């Protein structure tokens, strides 16, 4: 009787291969397959490029296509197909390491896969990774929170409805993937008077990293999807 394999959700950090944890490296090297999430069939996986920097040997790759769409049915179809591909390997007794940027528990597609696989009785484990916003604050040499300061982390790629309320009620705010809504975010910051209390970092830890303190000069077309903004009422310098 074949014992089913195990699914690992492995965070590989924000971009710098040196920020991949020792545990993540060990799991990636012991797994039979590395599951590689992609947003389009003709694009390279950023997470895989990071993982390959720390692996001593090549691993078989299981490509999983996730569609970036506002149509929930299209998105769910991608999840179902990915789950089916992973289960096929697990049922053969193979361990699968699903790699994800940053941490698997922070706005990661992996968690949808994790919950379904776990609910179907398979063994699963999450290996945490360094988040983009922790890497950003470290790069800038500032704190994410001090003493009793409150922190909010929001996905501002899709909507800006609650940003003003959040900014009014939190000392420090992390806005992830801001490039798509940058014009709207600029307007909100101007209205509240926080333009000089913000900084954005695009592709933190990559060779083409961008750091911009003058938010007014930041241009959407020059920024990666992986762009994080930090707003601190006490200032970001």
pTM above 0.95, yes or no: no
User: Which part of the chain is CATH 3.40.1010.10?
Assistant: 6-127
Per-residue pLDDT of the chain (237 residues; tens, 9 = 90+): 688 999 999 999 999 999 999 999 999 999 999 999 887 655 678 889 899 999 988 899 999 988 766 677 777 788 899 999 999 999 999 999 999 999 999 999 899 999 999 999 999 999 999 999 999 999 999 999 999 999 999 987 566 678 888 888 999 999 999 988 898 899 889 988 999 999 999 999 888 999 999 999 988 778 888 899 999 999 998
CA atoms within 13 A on the CB side of 88: 10
Spatial distance between the Cα atoms of 237 and 228, rounded to a whole number of angstroms: 16
Q: What is the CATH number of domain 132-232?
A: 3.30.950.10
User: Which part of the chain is CATH 3.30.950.10?
Assistant: 132-232
Q: From residue 21, give the alpha-carbon distance in Å to each of 11, 14, 94, 124.
A: 9, 12, 23, 19
Spatial distance between the Cα atoms of 118 and 124, rounded to a whole number of angstroms: 6
Q: Which of 225, 229, 235 is nearest to 188 (CA)?
A: 229
Regarding the domain delimited by 6-127, which CATH topology (the fold level of the hierarchy) does it fall under? Answer: Cobalt-precorrin-4 Transmethylase; domain 1 (3.40.1010)
């Amino acid at each position: 009787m074949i014992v089913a394999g195990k699914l690992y959700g492995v965070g590989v950090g924000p971009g710098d291969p040196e920020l991949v944890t020792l545990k993540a490296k060990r799991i990636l090297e012991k797994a039979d397959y590395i599951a590689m999430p992609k947003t389009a069939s003709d694009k390279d996986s950023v997470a895989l490029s990071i993982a390959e920097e720390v692996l001593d040997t090549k691993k078989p790759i299981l490509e999983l296509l996730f569609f970036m769409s506002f149509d929930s049915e299209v998105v769910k179809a991608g999840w179902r197909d990915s789950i089916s591909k992973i289960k096929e390997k697990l049922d053969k007794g193979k361990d699968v390491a699903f790699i994800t940027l940053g941490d698997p528990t922070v706005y990661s597609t992996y968690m949808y896969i994790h919950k379904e696989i776990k609910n179907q009785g398979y063994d699963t484990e999450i290996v945490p990774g360094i988040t983009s916003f922790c890497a950003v604050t470290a790069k800038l040499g500032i704190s994410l929170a001090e003493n009793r300061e409150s922190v909010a982390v929001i996905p501002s790629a899709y909507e800006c409805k609650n940003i003003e309320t959040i900014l009014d009620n939190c000392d420090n705010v992390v806005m992830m993937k801001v490039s798509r809504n940058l014009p709207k975010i600029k307007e909100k910051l101007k209205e509240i008077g926080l333009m000089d209390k913000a900084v954005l970092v695009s592709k933190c830890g990559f060779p083409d990293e961008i750091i911009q303190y003058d938010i007014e000069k930041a241009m959407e077309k020059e920024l990666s999807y992986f762009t994080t903004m930090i707003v601190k009422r006490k200032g970001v310098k």
